[in-house]
Structure 1
Amino acid sequence: MLDKILYNTVLCQAYSPCGKYLVAGNIYGQLAVFDLDRILNPVVELLTSDYNKPKYKHNLESGNQICSLVTTDKFLIIGTVNEIYGWDWKAILSVKLSKPSWQIKISSKTSLEYIDVNSLWLSEDREKLLAGCGDNNVYIYNLEDRRQISVLSGHDDYVHSVHGKNDQIISSGEDGAVLLWDLRTAKSHNKIEPYKNNKVSRPDLGKWVGSASLSDDWIVCGGGPRLALWHLRSLDVTTVFDLPDHGIHVSYFHDDCVIASGAAKHLYQLSYSGEIRVELPVSATTVYSAVLKSNPNVLAIAGSSPEIDLCTSFNYRDQILHFR
């Protein structure tokens, strides 16, 4: 029988509130929980051959793929197909997974039978949960009572990513649009379409935008079009990053740099002017998730591979975790 885990794809990752655990979700509806302290600070006398494998592995009852993860102090929030679940962290860090503490069913007016929750983002006040979905919408929920507050409708194809800064939200989609929204009014006030810009368009790779992120003054986004830095106020493209990629799925700001990866052999750390500061080799043929935490610094990189790269520095891989 074919070992399906060899063809594993990890779509999302999250750290526990204490920072001691990494959780990864895959296309088979499995959650792998890794004990970072045991992995990064091993006691040699107690070291076993499976130290870099999950401490716990949970299976969702539905078997649906785990598309997105986000964490609060109390809950691990899981976006899957048609539903969003909230599991108490105590349940996640147990041998057997209990029932979720709560769930939200996506109520769409479209005729789609299966709606993937592709991206989750928490507002900075931790009161609102935003979900970018496969029915072209971004849903906003009150996290305390899980009540739907509003729907951001403006994309013509499914939403790949949602991110925010203060009261400003950015979403990107398969339609090639990057939309800017005001969280207070739930209205879109600006749009860029990178595939229409000659500096960044790559018609052979398509118009889709796999990732878009905000800082106070900048937007970074990429997908079929090249990864590029756009000025937030003028919406002009400022820097086009010259990367040997075949599509971008991860892009965000960290300190004074841009972190990016996708269908490439590396994860990149880039200056705003376009300089490649670090090319970090990756195990996955396509990276779908690269999550970073501080104190201490840990970067986890995952995608189309049963292996997850763990780094405490941007210069090299410390460990390779095995989703088995």
Structure 2
Amino acid sequence: MLDKIIYNTVLCQTFSPCGKYLIAGNIYGQIAVFDLDCILHPVIELLTPDYNRPKHLHLLGNGAQICSLASTENFLIVGTVNEISGWDWKSIVHSKLSKPAWVIKITSQSSFEQTDVNSLWYAEEENKIYAACGDNKVYVYHLEDGKLVNTFDGHKDYIHSIHGRAQQVISAGEDGLVMLWDTRTGKSHNKLEPHTNAKVARPDIGKWIGSASLGDDWIVCGGGPRLSLWHLRSLDAVTVFDIPDHGIHVSFFHDDCVVAGGAAKYLYQLSYSGEVKVELPVSATTVYSAILRTSPNNLLAIAGSSPEIDICTSFNYRDQVLHFR
């Protein structure tokens, strides 16, 4: 168990719909439930030494790593290996975990025996879950009945990232492709290959893309290639960010800024023109997850190759460190 503590890696996080709980999943099949009310608004007289540790620590049945998490009003959605499961929130926030409310088995159309569900994106208006998987495909399931309604087929290697906005979905993978999909047709209508752009390419790190996200008029992506901002319609690289990383695993838009991290000492907040607004020191040697919400509290949670999860309430500095152990 000591080795597990030292080498713990947190791959994913999400918030409960009410914002009172932070959920994190690690490579050992464990889900940690942190009570944010107790952590952010402690009663000093009742404070215990373990206040910043999980309120509950659940081990999922087969112990497969927790690759991805998503949240709906009713369910915590968990992506592991070969399956996606939905857990009632009442079950998750109690000490004893019951059985999942539903399970979707990933039936790979390829010869893959193990299909990791590397990234999940929930389309609330459609009530669909988009699963980016290790068999090079994105599967789309309707949560009302769990039926497979579409398969996005176009990547040539496993997919790291999925994100959507306004009837578009963007996926990014080990093959170096960033693909844009129309949610209505299930067809790809555009793609980027950042490693073919001399300003962006870093051949020594690789062509893989670890993260890609959509904004109103922009795409931000990075991985082996440098973190870069692309115009959504013209697909031109507008800004190449000059940050000292060795691979990007996290990137998203917030308040006219780009938030990004990976194999670096910091999580960065950057202007669209490339100015570094904030350098947040991180506990992990590599950041695999950073999630942010502004209600009911401002909260940024940063996790990765460490048992520690950094918590920031101002988004400008690290307030606390939670312990996933």
TM-score of Structure 1 vs Structure 2, range by shorter chain: over 0.9
Q: Check if 1:299 corresponds to 2:293.
A: no
Q: Distance in 1 between matches of 2:272 and 2:126?
A: 29
CA distance in 2, matches of 1:192, 1:80: 28
Q: Which runs of 4+ in 1 moved over 3 A?
A: none
SS of residue in 1 equivalent to 2:5 = helix
Aligned residue type for 2:307: P
Q: Which amino acid aligns with 1:222?
A: G
For 2:37, what is the secondary structure of its paired residue?
helix
How far apart are residue 2 of structure 1 and its match? 4.1
What code does the residue aligned with 1:319 have?
Q
- For the aligned residue pairs, the C-alpha RMSD in angstroms reads 0.8
CA distance in 1, matches of 2:57, 2:88: 16
**2:323 equivalent to 1:319:** no
Secondary structure, aligned partner of 1:181? strand
TM-score, scaled to structure 2: 0.99
Amino acid at match of 2:215: S
Question: Distance in 2 between the 1:126 and 1:191 partners?
Answer: 24
Shift of 1:218: 0.3
Task: Confirm whether residue 175 of structure 1 aligns to residue 171 of structure 2.
Answer: no
**Alignment partner, residue 241 of structure 1:** 241
Asked if residue 23 in structure 1 is aligned to residue 18 in structure 2, the reply is no
Task: Tell me, yes or no, if the aligned pair for 2:9 and 2:307 is still in contact at 8 Å.
Answer: yes
Structure 2: distance between partners of 1:124 and 1:263? 31
Q: Is the 8 A contact 2:299 2:315 kept in 1?
A: no
| CA 126–47 in structure 1, closer or farther in 2 if over 3 Å, else same | farther
Distance 2:142 2:303 in 1: 30
Q: Aligned runs of 1:199-238 on 2, under 5 Å?
A: 199-238=199-238
The CA deviation at 1:3 is 2.9
Cα deviation for residue 124 of structure 1 reads 4.0
Secondary structure, counterpart of 2:6 in structure 1: helix
- The answer for the alignment partner of 1:88 in structure 2 is 88
Decide whether the 8 Å contact of 1:7 with 1:305 is kept in 2: yes
Query: How do 1:1-324 and structure 2 match up within 5 A?
Result: 2-295=2-295, 296-324=297-325
Size of the aligned set, in residue pairs, is 324
Q: Does the Cα contact within 8 Å between 2:11 and 2:26 map onto a contact in 1?
A: yes
Deviation string 1:151-204 (CA, Å, 9 cap, x unpaired) is 000000000000011101100000000000000000001010000000000000
Q: Distance in 1 between matches of 2:83 and 2:212?
A: 23
Letter in 2 for 1:154: G
Unaligned 5+ residue runs, structure 2? none
Deviations 1:287-315 (A, max 9, x none): 00001011211000000000000010122
CA distance in 2, matches of 1:71, 1:305: 23
